Chains A and B, each alone.
Chain A
Amino acid sequence: AQSVAQPEDQVNVAEGNPLTVKCTYSVSGNPYLFWYVQYPNRGLQFLLKYITGDNLVKGSYGFEAEFNKSQTSFHLKKPSALVSDSALYFCAVRDANQAGTALIFGKGTTLSVSS
């Protein structure tokens, strides 16, 4: 069975500091991994994905994520946080070996960036 965990409900960082939002996953086959961001009163917006290849994936708005197969993790990172990055972040996983399956989303992590 597929699952994804976001162990932190909230992450607080100061503007200009690096940020990390954690995600771990469980799939029986190879994972397809995604990060989404949700701003208030909006739908989820796609940030980046890992399918195969380079473990460091770069996405929108200066975000990047590192795939670590041994630790089954896919943490979202940004070198320098902005106040405008404050939002709800979702990690999602799909098993590449199971056709027709939908994405499994984590419960979300609220990122709060203070000025």
Chain B
Amino acid sequence: DAGVIQSPRHEVTEMGQEVTLRCKPISGHDYLFWYRQTMMRGLELLIYFNNNVPIDDSGMPEDRFSAKMPNASFSTLKIQPSEPRDSAVYFCASSLSRGGLRQPQHFGDGTRLSIL
């Protein structure tokens, strides 16, 4: 079974540009999570979806960040305009809701974003 797939794996762009990160969750999973990891702040939850509906976006740092999940097999995280302090590794994770809250999350290998 394929795991969570993220693209691109690496992104280098200049300040002010729009950045779009993509995620394909594991088939059948109905929770999807976006995280950001930095040395200073560790692993931060940005937003998560259940059945394609955003449940909690309180971790989204600013209005420059937006996330969508148009269907069960695809999600995007967009930053517009990007700033150097957005440089981080962004992870997507998915999990099953069957069994309640007992299911582990499965992570993709992340997108390493560098804003120059």
Interface residues of A (CB under 8 A from B): 32, 34, 36, 41-46, 49, 51, 90, 94, 96, 99-103, 105, 107-108
Q: How far is the CA of A18 from the CA of B107 in the complex (A)?
A: 28
Give the interface SS of chain B, mostly helix, strand, loop or mixed.
strand
Cβ contact within 8 Å between B42 and A44? no
Interface size on B (CB < 8 Å)? 22
B87 vs chain A, min Cβ distance (A): 16
Distance in Å from the Cβ of A17 to the closest Cβ of chain B? 27
CB neighbours (8 Å) of A34 from chain B are 104
Query: Which B positions have Cβ atoms within 8 angstroms of A?
Result: 4, 33, 42-43, 45, 48, 50, 55-56, 91, 93, 100-102, 104-110, 112
Rounded to whole Å, the gap between the CB of B96 and the closest CB of chain A is 12
Chain B residues within 8 Å of A105, by CB: 42-43, 45
Give the Cβ gap from A34 to chain B, nearest Cβ, in Å: 6
Rounded to whole Å, the gap between the CB of B1 and the closest CB of chain A is 14
A42 to B89, CA, bound (A): 10
Give me 23 A-to-B residue pairs in the complex whose CB atoms sit less than 8 angstroms apart, sorted by A's number: A32-B102, A34-B104, A36-B104, A41-B112, A43-B110, A44-B43, A44-B91, A44-B93, A44-B105, A44-B107, A49-B102, A49-B104, A51-B102, A96-B101, A100-B50, A100-B55, A100-B56, A102-B45, A102-B48, A103-B105, A105-B43, A107-B42, A107-B43
Closest 7 CB pairs of A and B: A43-B107, A46-B104, A44-B107, A107-B42, A43-B109, A105-B43, A51-B102
